[in-house]
A and B are shown apart, each in its own frame.
Chain A
């Protein structure tokens, strides 16, 4: 979850100064801050509860095959259509995930999730507003939305790749599992997609691998860029 937020926050932050209108520029920067903040909060739980390395080390010094984010979030931004549809697909799943986790038996995560879902509510609202407007506007905007949806759909299904510990998480009431999450997600997004005058692609084959450290060729350049400054000095150096 932390890796998802970190990598996705990185992609969103790339819109700073580059948005199609100034209001969107500001919106994406704002959401990027939230995502990166969520990554930090999740890494901090790992450090505090499981004595892992500190958040900076976890985020900036791991290898590509140690990153567990889904591939959807690592894909380059492309144009605004691609970024918006990804934002819609990912944030709905993210919101539901944190909503489910807000009743987790693992107290630190439950507590954090309650806070995060309050922020994600606005991310989802933002995505829904833009998707329905652009899906219903000009021929060009409609076609762009549908093409992006077609292109991203299988990657979005990859969000729900089960982890090796799925059964244990469910048994210990930590998390109800990816299958339940995916079901809730489909139920939530289907009417909105319909309202946007778009169609869910009929054939689907989820892009799995991300949760096990397999990635597209678009992740490594991102990681290299992210670590460019911090890795120019010994680990632990103050910046």
Chain B
């Protein structure tokens, strides 16, 4: 996973800085030629800033995304699922590790990024603010959220920043296995006992809205991204990615007898675009701004981890630190 299908945008004006016009022209020419930008190359301040924000949010999404699935490792039914799930969640943490490293090449340290996550300054993918209530939720996440993320990540792996592209290529390679195990577990429930089938249907009903939110608000209401697309920071619009996802996965859901809780969902063959009910973009905004079912819990877990692991990090970073006994 999980690579934030949608990355929170910042107001461009707030971050814009004046760059050397000639250098900027050379930079844009390189991007037009399809060259990769490397850490020591000149880049516009905004390019650096937007990339840090994007890669950082992606990394945070991997860390937070490990929580709803991770909690099912100890309950996974049978050796096969248990081993696959530990391996998958481990991969996600590994992706976070890779992504933090990629973001560090742009000048922000892992510690700073994690601090910003804990204080709520940086965001992560909105879907992880919803709970994984049953085993079927794990299969929905493993299949469909991973699938949504792959659509996004494959596109971005063709972007312009070398370290991020290389990280994404490796991540996509691993994700394709996640998708397979997710699909396999999804089919097993869909074609299993009645209780298993019902459990899956219930999970999909609950997850459909977050899935529709996954790639971000429709292009017509999302903020201006032309510059990011010109610089190949962002490689496809939210609507394009969502459409591609629906194209690939709606048939796979329907073919195994699971229904999708949106009577208006259908493909307009003339335009090639999927049409669907409004997935409640107000809720999306509420959740991303902190008022979702699990926002507080997710951050509380990370804060717990941070606090309880502090002595280990201190011991590694400052091994000579001694306890000072106060006089009174």
Contacts and interface: CB of A to CB of B under 8 A. Distances in A.
B312 A32 contact: no
Of B78, B185, B195, B319, which is in contact with the most chain A CB atoms at under 10 Å from its CB? B78
Contact of B319 (A18, A79, A133): A133
Given A36-B79, A36-B83, A238-B188, A20 B308 contact: yes
B78 A60 contact: yes
Of A22, A56, A136, A225, which is in contact with the most chain B CB atoms at under 10 Å from its CB? A22
Contacts of B185: 239
Nearest to B304: A18
B149 interface: no
Interface in A2-53: 10, 13-14, 16-26, 29-30, 32-33, 36-37, 39-40
A10 B311 contact: no
Contact of B311 (A30, A36, A141): A141
B75 A80 contact: no
A63 B90 CA distance: 30
A21 B79 contact: no
Given A80-B308, A229-B135, A238-B192, A141 B90 contact: no
A140 B311 contact: yes
Contacts of B86: 13, 16, 29, 32-33, 36
A25 B243 CA distance: 36
Contacts of A134: 312, 315
A169 interface: no
Contacts of B192: 233, 237-239
B79 A56 contact: yes
A109 interface: no
Contacts of B312: 20-21, 24, 80, 134, 141
Contacts of B81: 239
Contacts of A230: 77-78
B90 A138 contact: no
A164 interface: no
B323 A139 contact: yes
Contact of B70 (A16, A21, A226): A16
B22 interface: no
A134 B70 CA distance: 27
A118 B241 CA distance: 45
A82 to B, nearest CB: 11
Nearest to B100: A22
Given A29-B89, A239-B81, A19 B193 contact: no
A138 B76 contact: no
Contacts of A139: 321-323
A59 to B, nearest CB: 7
B73 A21 contact: no
Contacts of B73: 13-14, 16
Interface in B60-76: 63, 66-67, 70, 73-76
Interface string A184-225: 000000000000000000000000000000000000001001
Contact of B93 (A20, A26, A79): A26
B36 interface: no
B66 A16 contact: yes
Contacts of A20: 305, 308-313
A137 B319 contact: yes
Interface string A140-160: 110010000000000000000
A36 B78 CA distance: 11
Given A17-B93, A56-B78, A239-B188, A136 B319 contact: yes
A33 B87 contact: yes
Of A16, A30, A55, A233, which is in contact with the most chain B CB atoms at under 10 Å from its CB? A16
B1 to A, nearest CB: 13
B162 interface: no
Interface of B: 63, 66-67, 70, 73-79, 81-83, 86-87, 89-90, 93-94, 96-97, 100, 135, 185, 188-189, 192-193, 195-196, 301, 305, 308-316, 318-323
18 contacts: A16-B70, A16-B86, A17-B66, A20-B312, A21-B309, A22-B93, A25-B93, A29-B93, A33-B87, A33-B90, A40-B79, A137-B319, A138-B321, A141-B314, A229-B135, A239-B78, A239-B81, A239-B185
Interface of A: 10, 13-14, 16-26, 29-30, 32-33, 36-37, 39-40, 55-56, 59-60, 79-80, 133-134, 136-141, 144, 222, 225-226, 228-230, 232-233, 237-239
List 7 tightest A-B contacts by C-beta distance, closest first. A20-B309, A29-B90, A137-B315, A230-B77, A141-B315, A20-B312, A137-B319
Given A60-B78, A139-B321, A238-B188, 19 more contacts: A16-B90, A17-B67, A17-B89, A17-B93, A19-B305, A20-B310, A24-B312, A25-B90, A25-B93, A26-B94, A26-B97, A33-B83, A33-B86, A36-B82, A138-B320, A140-B323, A144-B311, A222-B74, A233-B196
